[in-house]
Amino acid sequence: MHVQEWLETVPAVAVYALVGLVIGLESLGIPLPGEIILVSSALLASQHGDIDPVVLGACATAGAIIGDSIGYAIGRRGGRPLLAWLGAKFPRHFSEGHIATAERSFKKWGMWAVFFGRFVALLRIFAGPLAGVLRMPYWKFLIANVLGGIVWAGGTTAVIYYVGIVAESWLKRFSWLGLVLAVLIGVTSMLVLKRKAKKAAPRTPEPVVTAD
């Protein structure tokens, strides 16, 4: 069963709780499909009046902010041994290469790595724990965490919700052509956000070769 089909079988309160919980756990550092759950729920809200998109966006934002804050606290307390433990448990997501890439991002971009990390799946999982391990001042982390959570969770909910409304309206007038165009608009919006986030990520400098 697809995510959206399953979400249609549960009440609105359960959808709010599920979105907040999954995004919170993902932000805490557990590899979960938070973005897929959020997009599916926002699309479902556009088709069913029982789900309030404002409440949905608020739950997603709260889950993102709280989860990242807990991840920060765990990372600050656990330090480097925590990253080694996560690498053993989740080698696909917490490999030494991934950790090194994320660490370079944080050292170079600081608060911006936390903010733009919301739009990149790998950094979204790393942001909280790694900021704690690197002992980023909490007030800096909190500002980037709150702003990133609002823009990512609230923005994604709004974009997908209105794309769904447009798609449903056009479907009544233009059949599948309206759906195709609406999906293209939604995909383009998401790609633009992700591209901007990737531009903010640091690029590994090429080694300088010197002549003997």
2 or 109, higher pLDDT = 109
Confidence grade of residue 59 (pLDDT, cut at 50, 70, 90)? very high
Percent of the chain whose pLDDT exceeds 70? 66
pLDDT at 28 (0 to 100): 84
Residue 120, CA distances (Å) to 27, 149, 193, 194, 209 in order? 12, 13, 10, 7, 32
Q: Minimal CA–CA distance to 115: which of 156, 150, 139, 75?
A: 150
Residue recorded with tokens 């448990």: 89
* pLDDT digits 0-9 by tens, 18-49: 999 999 999 887 878 888 889 888 888 887 77
According to the model, what pLDDT value does residue 62 have?
96
User: How many Cα atoms occupy the beta-carbon half-sphere of 180 within 13 Å?
Assistant: 4
**Average pLDDT score over residue span 171-197:** 56
Across the range 55-67, mean pLDDT stands at 95
DSSP structure string for the chain: --HHHHHTTS-HHHHHHHHHHHHHHHHHT----HHHHHHHHHHHHHH-TTS-HHHHHHHHHHHHHHHHHHHHHHHHHHHHHHHHHHHHH-TTTS-HHHHHHHHHHHHHHTHHHHHHGGGSHHHHHHHHHHHHHTT--HHHHHHHHHHHHIIIIIHHHHHHHHHHHHHHHHHHHHTHHHHHHHHHHHHHHHHHHHHHHHHHS--PPPPPP---
Q: Which pLDDT score, from 0 to 100, does residue 53 have? A: 92
- pLDDT score of 205 more than 50: no
pLDDT at 107 over 60: yes
Instruction: Choose the weakest-confidence range: 118-122, 154-158, 180-184, 206-210.
Output: 206-210
Global pTM value: 0.69
What is the pLDDT at residue 91?
64
pLDDT at 204 (0 to 100): 43
- Alpha-carbon radius of gyration of the chain: 19
Where is pLDDT greater, at 210 or 158? 158
Report how far residue 105's alpha carbon sits from residue 80's, in angstroms, rounded to the nearest whole number.
17
Tokens, residue 44: 């479902």
What is the tens place of the pLDDT at every residue in 136-179? 888 989 999 999 999 999 999 998 888 877 765 554 454 445 44
Instruction: Judge residue 196's burial from the number of C-beta atoms within 10 Å of its C-beta, 0-12 exposed, 13-18 middle, 19 or more buried.
Output: exposed
CB 189 within 8 A of CB 195: no
Higher confidence at residue 139 or residue 135? Answer: 139
* 8 φ/ψ angles, rounded to the nearest 5 degrees: -65, -15
What pLDDT is recorded for position 194? 60
Q: How many CA atoms lie within 13 A of 171 on its CB side?
A: 11
